[in-house]
Every structure is written in C-alpha cells, then in structure tokens.
Structure 1
Amino acid sequence: MIVWLNGTFGAGKTTAAHEVLDLLPGSTLYDPELLGTGLRSMLPPKRLEEVDDYQDLPSWRRMVVDTAAALLTEVPGPLVTPMTLLRQEYRDEIFGALAARRIPVRHVLLDAEETILRSRIAHREETPGDPEGNAAVRRWCLEHLGPYAQALDWLKSDAHVVDTTALTPRQTAERVAEAVRTGAGACDIVQTPEPTAETLAAGVLLFDDQDRVLLVDPTYKPGWEFPGGIVEPGEAPARAGVREVAEELGIQLGCTPRLLVLDWEAPKPPGYGGLRLLFDGGTLTADRIRELLLPGAELRAWRFVTESEAESMLPPVRWNRLRWALRARERGCPLHLEAGVPLG
C-alpha cells in the first residue's frame, strides 16, 4: 500500500510523514522527489529546459511507479509518500499505473488556511549561509499557492482531507493513521493490467444530433479517450466495442457498429503497441444521452465535442486516429493506417 500525502508547500507533509512512520507498523518513507533530483543530474540540460518541473517528465512518472513496486518487494509496507501532486492527469497516470500493479493507494490531502501556509513558508527551515538560495525556495513555494488553490476542487473530491491549520505534526499523523486504518482516501480506480505484449483494442465513436463526438475521461490514465477497451481473447472486435459501450456508459447499441479505422500503433516503451480499431456507433438521441451512466471507478466524465475541441483534449496519437476516422465516416469508406498514416 502507498499512503500518499498530498498538499502544497507548508501543509506539513514531510514532518507528518515522519510521525506517521511511528504509527503504521512496517511503514517506510518513500520520497519521489529524490527521483526528480536524480533525473536532474542525469538528463541533458537541453531536455530539462523543455519542462517547467520534473513532474512533467514522463520518465519521472514511470519511475515513481516502478520504484514503489520495487520497494514493496523489499519492505512490508506501507510506503508513506509526502509528495505534492496538483495535476489531475498526472494523478491519473501514477495512481492508475499503481492500480494496474495491484498496489492500493490511500490518498490524503493535508490542507491549511492560506495565511497559515504563507506563515509556514516564511518561517521554513533555511540552509545556513545561502540567503539567495533560501529566498528563491520561498518564492518558488509561494508561486505554487495559486496552482494549489486551482486544484483544490478535484483534490478534495478525490482525497481524504485533513485540515492541519490547528494541528501539530503528531496530531496530523494520528489523523492520517486513523484514516488509513478505516480505509478513508482509498482510490476507487479501475485496475487495468499492464500489457505484456501487443494488444488489440476497439473504440466506438458515438455522436449527438449536432454531429459532435463523445469523449470520456478515464480515472486510470491521462487524457480523454473514446469509449472502448481491450478485445478479450476469442472476442470479435466489433462485439468488444459494443460490450465496452454497455459497460462504460450503460448504452446498448442496437446493431453492429461499422468499422471506420484500423490503425497499427508502433511499440513505444514501455508500451507494446498493437492494432487499434475505431467503429461508428451512430447518433444517440437526446433520450439515450440522458440515460448515460458512468462507472465511478473507471470514468469521471463524458462530453460531446467538436473536432477542433477534441484536438485540445486528446493525446496526439488518439487525436490523429479520430481525425482520420471522421474523414472515413464522411467518405463512407474505412481507412487502414500504420502508425497513424493512411496506406495508399
């Protein structure tokens, strides 16, 4: 298990984490910031200049999961992880990958009033003899109060909240330990096993009466997606698409969807690639749209969007696949792609 202590700078994550170690038998401190420090020393300066924060590095997010899994083979757990995580898509990626490895997460948000946070940042422990460095750290911490405030809505809906405004580090740790014992902060996230070979996946495009396409927001991976999923062994791809639409949205498609795109996705470590199919599920009436249901452990939201809106919401590979699927729908003829490029 991982006890993920989230919150902005000044919330008391690190001091509380050390106290939690005394209250949860077998627990070990796991600080992903050390992975970021290592990457800063190993990656070329040119690569580091391309990101604002080490959390923006896909390698850091993969290492957080891989290192946690490795540590849990060495220690009984849980791992106590004091780490600020404000971007919801990064939470999806990391927690989803942990769930795929059957590693449960207790997500606890340590929160405090802004005046308290500012006071704690102003009086944080400083490095002797480095006034410029200390001032830079304080500025950096204060600059993150705004992004933290913007992230509070999703954080408070996702995590168990402990208000540290009037608590000592020990009292905070006791609240965290009690939350862990009672199962509070458990992330109800789908456990999708990581692929070990190429996969076959089927997605279904559904439209409204304005010809906008339906996208869904998975809890277990970053970015928006089409309804659909992995085709099970021995299952017909079109039937898999129909099954996934029923499971994810509660919609029963009345007929077999028509193929729009078959795309071969090249392997890109750690992914294995494989075949990706997109089908045309047709237009949903207003009544059927009102019947849409979402499984909370798998999808958090759905939206009908225009093609231009989809471009800003989908990862590039999925956006390109959608773009060609819409062209195939207009022409009434399916397209065969390899790595996103039409053949012929």
Structure 2
Amino acid sequence: MIIWLNGAFGAGKTTVAHELLHLLPGSTLYDPELVAAGLRAMLPKERLAHVDEVQDLPSWRRLVVDTGAALLAELPGPLIAPMTLLEQEYRDEIFGGFAARRIPVQHFLLHVEETFLRGRIDQRAAVDGDAVRGWCLGHLPRYGAALPWLTADAHTLETSRLTPRQTAELLAEGVRTGAGTCQIVQTPAPSAETLAAGVLFFDDEDRVLLVDPTYKPGWEFPGGVVEAGEPPARAAVREVAEELGLHLTREPALLIIDWEPPSPPRFGGLRLLFDGGRLAPDRMRDLLLPGAELRGWRFAAQEEAERLLSPGRFARLRWALRARAEGRPLNLEAGVPVGG
C-alpha cells in the first residue's frame, strides 16, 4: 500500500512522514524526490530545459510507480510517500499506475492555512536558504488553484495548529480506518498489443461526447479494451453501458480502424471508433458516471476537443468525423489514412 501525503511545498510533509514511520509497524519512507534527483543527475540539461520541473517529465511519473512497485516487492509495506502533486492529470497517471499493479493508495492532504504556512516556510528557509523560500512561496498560487480537486480527492487534515506528532497520529488513525482510499479500479498494464473500441456520441450541435478518466491523464472517448474472444462492436456496446449507463439497441457502425505503433513503454495496437449516433436530451439526463473510473463528461466542439485530447486521439476524431460525413469507414495507420 502507498500512503501519499500531499500538500503545499513547505507544509511539513516529510517531517510528518518520519513521525508516521514510528506509528505504522513495517512502514518505509518512499520519497519520490529521490527519483527526481536521479533524473536531474542523468538527463542532459537540454532535456531538462524543456520542462518547468521534473514532475513534468513522463519518465518521472513512470519511475515513481515502477520504483514504488519494486520497493513493495522487497518490503512488507506500507510505503509513506511525502510528495506535492498539484496537477490532477499527474495524480491520475501515478495513482492509475499503482492501481494497474494492484497497489492500493490512500491519499491525504495536509492543509495549512497560509499565515501558518508562510511561518513554516520561513523556519525552513532559515536552515535551507532563501532559494527554498522562493520555491515554496512561488508555488502557493498553484496550490490554491489545485485545492478544489485536492479536497475532493484526498482525505484532508487541517494541520495549521498541530505538531508533526499530532498530525502523524491523526494520519495513523486515518490509515487504519481506510480514509482517503482511492477507488480506482484498473486492469493490469498490457504486456502486448491491445485491441480497444470506442464510441462517438453527438449532441444536436454535433459536438462529440468525451469522458475524463480517473486512472490516466487527459480526456478520452467512451469505450475500452476488447476482451479475449469478444467481438469489437459488442465490446463497445458493453463498455458504454458499464461506463455511462447507455444501452445501445444495436451494434454501432464502424467509423475508423487505426493501428497505433508501439512507443515504449506502450505496446500500441488496434484502435476502433464506432458511431453511437446523436443522443436525445432525455438520454443525456440518464448518463451515469462510475466514480472509480470516470470523473466527468462533456460535449466538445472540434476546437475544444483538440485542447482536451492527446494528438493521437484527436487525429482519430478528425478522420472519424470525415468517415461519418462520407458514410464509409477509414483505415488508418498512426492516425493517417492508408489505401484508397
């Protein structure tokens, strides 16, 4: 198990983590900052210059999961990870990666009122220097902007007037009662190419329905991986029923088939998109969201979809819209049509 201690820079997460070690037998401190330090030492400065901070590197997020899993193979656990995560997409990627490895996560937010927080930052700067003060204070606006999703996702502890020991005691009780448990249910990471089927639904303005998964970054089309021996169109029908409560009366028509090439660590595979047609307003009101898988849904025009989707997914959407307009499916490779 991972006990993830989140909060503003300077909130005292690492100090509390050391106190918590004494209250949870068998626990181990797992500091993802050490992963970041390793990447800073190994990556060329030209690569690091392209990101604002190490968390922006996909390799850091992958290594945080892989290192945690490797430690739990050696140790009984739990691992206590004091690390600020202010980007919800990074949270989704990391916690989803743990879920795919069947590693549960309890997410705690150690919240400190700003007046008290600035005092703690000043105390830390007296030891570590003004550069630390500038770093911590510079991230306060981002922390404030992240609070709505943080408080909704994590079990929040108000620690402004608590000592590290008192905070650790509250955390230990929260761990015992299962507070902050992430409900992500994720299939194991693929070990070979996969076949996935998605469905495009539209509203009366021809905007496309997108969903926001809790277990990976970015927005996506409703759908999922086709199970062994399952017809793809039937898998698409099953997935939208499970995800959104939408029950299609017939198997939808194919719009595109796209071969996604391997791109380590991803294996790639075939990606199919089907036409779910236009949703009437009464059916939209019936849309359901399984909280463990999807955070939200929205209809998006093409321009908005380009901002929400990854480049590969958006390329599929563009060609799927073309196929829908022309009334014939298209065969793609890496998002580009092939053949006649």
- Under a length normalisation based on structure 1, what TM-score does the superposition of the two structures give? 0.97
The one-letter amino acid paired with 1:245 is V
Secondary structure class of the residue paired with 2:124: coil
Secondary structure class of the residue paired with 2:303: helix
* Unaligned ranges ≥5, structure 2: none
State the partner residue of 2:271.
Answer: 276
Query: Taking every aligned residue pair, what percent have the same amino acid on both sides?
Result: 71
Aligned partner of 1:319 among 314, 317, 320: 314
8 A contact 1:320–1:340 mirrored in 2: yes
8-17 vs 58-67, which moves further: 8-17
Give deviations 1:189-219, integer Å, cap 9, x for gaps.
Answer: 1222100110000000001111110000000
2:70 is aligned with 1:70:
yes
Residue 10 of structure 1: how far off its partner (Å): 2.3
Instruction: Give the superposed CA RMSD.
Output: 0.9
State the partner residue of 1:131.
Answer: none
Residue 127 of structure 1: how far off its partner (Å): 4.9
8 A contact 2:28–2:80 mirrored in 1: yes
8 A contact 2:125–2:133 mirrored in 1: no
Q: How do 1:47-58 and structure 2 match up within 5 A?
A: 47-58=47-58
Secondary structure class of the residue paired with 1:72: helix
8 A contact 1:190–1:219 mirrored in 2: no
The one-letter amino acid paired with 1:307 is Q
State the partner residue of 1:164.
Answer: 159
Q: In 1, Cα distance between the equivalents of 2:279 and 2:130? A: 57
- Under a length normalisation based on structure 2, what TM-score does the superposition of the two structures give? 0.98
8 A contact 2:125–2:132 mirrored in 1: no
State the partner residue of 1:296.
Answer: 291
Secondary structure class of the residue paired with 1:262: strand
State the partner residue of 1:137.
Answer: 132
Q: In 2, Cα distance between the equivalents of 1:97 and 1:89? A: 12
2:86 is aligned with 1:86:
yes
State the partner residue of 2:43.
Answer: 43
2:250 is aligned with 1:255:
yes
Secondary structure class of the residue paired with 1:11: coil
| Aligned residue pair count | 339
Residue 3 of structure 1: how far off its partner (Å): 0.4
Secondary structure class of the residue paired with 1:333: coil
Secondary structure class of the residue paired with 2:22: helix
8 A contact 1:12–1:164 mirrored in 2: no
The one-letter amino acid paired with 2:9 is F
Runs of 4 or more consecutive aligned structure 1 residues displaced over 2 Å after TM superposition: 125-128
State the partner residue of 2:195.
Answer: 200
2:60 is aligned with 1:60:
yes
2:223 is aligned with 1:228:
yes
State the partner residue of 2:16.
Answer: 16
Residue 73 of structure 1: how far off its partner (Å): 1.1
Give deviations 1:19-75, integer Å, cap 9, x for gaps.
Answer: 000000000000000111110111011100000010000000000000000000111
Residue 126 of structure 1: how far off its partner (Å): 4.3
Q: In 1, Cα distance between the equivalents of 2:176 and 2:253? A: 50
State the partner residue of 2:144.
Answer: 149
Q: In 2, Cα distance between the equivalents of 1:10 and 1:179? A: 22
Q: In 2, Cα distance between the equivalents of 1:77 and 1:190? A: 21
* Unaligned ranges ≥5, structure 1: 129-133
Residue 125 of structure 1: how far off its partner (Å): 5.0
State the partner residue of 1:33.
Answer: 33
2:237 is aligned with 1:242:
yes
Give deviations 1:139-192, integer Å, cap 9, x for gaps.
Answer: 111010100000000000000011111100000000111000000000011222
8 A contact 1:30–1:80 mirrored in 2: yes
Q: In 2, Cα distance between the equivalents of 1:276 and 1:221? A: 17
Q: In 2, Cα distance between the equivalents of 1:241 and 1:197? A: 20
Secondary structure class of the residue paired with 1:270: coil
